[in-house]
């Protein structure tokens, strides 16, 4: 039976207003929305498929290149939409092949996107918000607070940019993780539209089971996501085995307490029959002791066999005061979980030589802007 320290829940975070730019991005529209727009502008609906092909298959850089569209339609598209919504400010390449981009948006805000090379293919980590208000005490993403949500098109554009990079070597984006800056479930509608655009057979056609979305525990939207009945993978940033410690590390826990989060996870498992990955960032002397592993195992055993733990040695962030768990202690933590039949893996470190953890490159850029 789960025992948790009672914490008075706070009011839910006030919903953010969606970002509505002066012009939508070409990547903001679904195929059906393109069909509606074309109809409203006196064009046949089949042109939507042609536009989708130019955007996601040929991956052109302007409306002018869409040569099977009339000049008048290309002019109208150019007047009505922003084509390129991301401008590269900087990029860093790691010795392990990881590439981290810092992109500037149309309103001059900056976001990060990371391309990671694995033995099984290329994974892209995308950002869903400019900044973050969740306030996790070990994370660089929350430095500077939250500026705004991204539109679906601004999230899509990150994948297109990554794919254009891979086009040079004949490779493709094989998987997506929504684990960049921001809380995806606070930008739920844009995130969901992004997912539908990614898995569309006429678009990039990335398999739903090759996409993972991570949340810090926005309980109402875990329920909502379960009811979507999609094959997208879900990861929960848990980082502690109880209320008291999790509230210290993750202020969101005071709004959606640990017990509520666990019940939401059980609802997801019951509704979808799909596994949840629990992300656990190990911090030396904070949440990495044997008793923490034992307590976590007791909580998660209730959800076997649809449980997996991803142990993450915490990244060093200059503005934070956490240290990485010693290697032997990481393996000891893993062994305790596995003793209780909880599958646990240790995340392979990538891009440490280029500060590839969420928010670090953006934080450096923000610091340089105020000097």
Catalytic residue numbers, as ranges: 112, 358
Measure the CA–CA gap between 181 and 66, rounded to whole angstroms: 33
3-state secondary structure of 290: helix
Measure the CA–CA gap between 338 and 344, rounded to whole angstroms: 7
Residue with tokens 């002019």: 75
Report the candidate in 7, 11, 13 with the shortest Cα–Cα distance to residue 258. 7
Measure the CA–CA gap between 73 and 79, rounded to whole angstroms: 10
Angle between helices 219-228 and 258-272 (to 10 degrees): 0
* CA of residue 14 relative to chain centroid, distance: 21
Q: For residue 109, what are the CA distances in angstroms to 4, 23, 38, 115?
A: 40, 16, 31, 20
Structure tokens at 244: 């008291």
**Phi, psi at 82, each rounded to 5°:** -85, 130
CB atoms within 10 A of CB 190: 22
Cα 98–309–182 angle (5° rounding)? 55
């Amino acid at each position: 039976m789960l025992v948790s320290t009672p914490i008075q829940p706070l009011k839910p975070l006030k919903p953010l207003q969606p970002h509505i730019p002066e012009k939508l991005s070409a990547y903001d529209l679904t195929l059906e929305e393109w069909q509606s727009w074309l109809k409203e502008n006196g064009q046949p609906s089949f042109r939507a498929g042609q536009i989708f092909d130019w955007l996601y298959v040929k991956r052109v850089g302007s409306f002018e290149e869409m040569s099977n569209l009339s000049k008048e339609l290309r002019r109208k598209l150019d007047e009505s939409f922003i084509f390129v919504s991301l401008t590269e400010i900087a990029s860093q390449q790691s010795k392990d092949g990881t590439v981290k981009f810092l992109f500037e948006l149309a309103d001059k805000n900056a976001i990060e996107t990371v391309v990671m090379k694995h033995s099984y293919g290329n994974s892209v980590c995308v950002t869903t918000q400019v900044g973050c208000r969740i306030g996790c005490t070990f994370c660089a993403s929350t430095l500077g607070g939250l500026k705004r949500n991204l539109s679906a098109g601004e999230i899509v554009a990150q994948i297109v940019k990554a794919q254009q990079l891979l086009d040079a070597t004949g490779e493709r984006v094989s998987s997506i993780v929504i684990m960049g800056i921001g809380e995806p479930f606070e930008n739920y509608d844009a995130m969901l539209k992004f997912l539908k655009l990614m898995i569309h057979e006429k678009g990039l056609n990335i398999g739903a089971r090759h996409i993972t979305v991570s949340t810090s525990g926005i309980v109402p939207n875990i329920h909502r996501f379960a009811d979507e009945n999609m094959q997208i993978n879900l990861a929960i940033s848990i980082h502690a085995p109880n209320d008291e410690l999790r509230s210290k590390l993750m202020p969101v826990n005071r709004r959606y307490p640990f017990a509520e989060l666990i019940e939401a996870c059980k609802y997801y498992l019951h509704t979808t029959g799909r596994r949840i990955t629990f992300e656990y960032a190990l911090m030396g002397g904070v949440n990495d002791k044997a008793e923490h592993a034992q307590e976590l195992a007791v909580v998660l055993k209730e959800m076997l066999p649809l449980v997996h733990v991803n142990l993450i040695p915490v990244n060093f962030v200059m503005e934070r005061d956490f240290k990485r768990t010693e290697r032997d202690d990481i393996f000891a933590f893993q062994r305790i979980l596995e003793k209780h039949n909880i599958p646990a893996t240790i995340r392979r470190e990538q891009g440490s030589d280029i500060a590839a953890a969420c928010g670090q490159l953006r934080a450096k850029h923000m610091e340089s802007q105020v000097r």
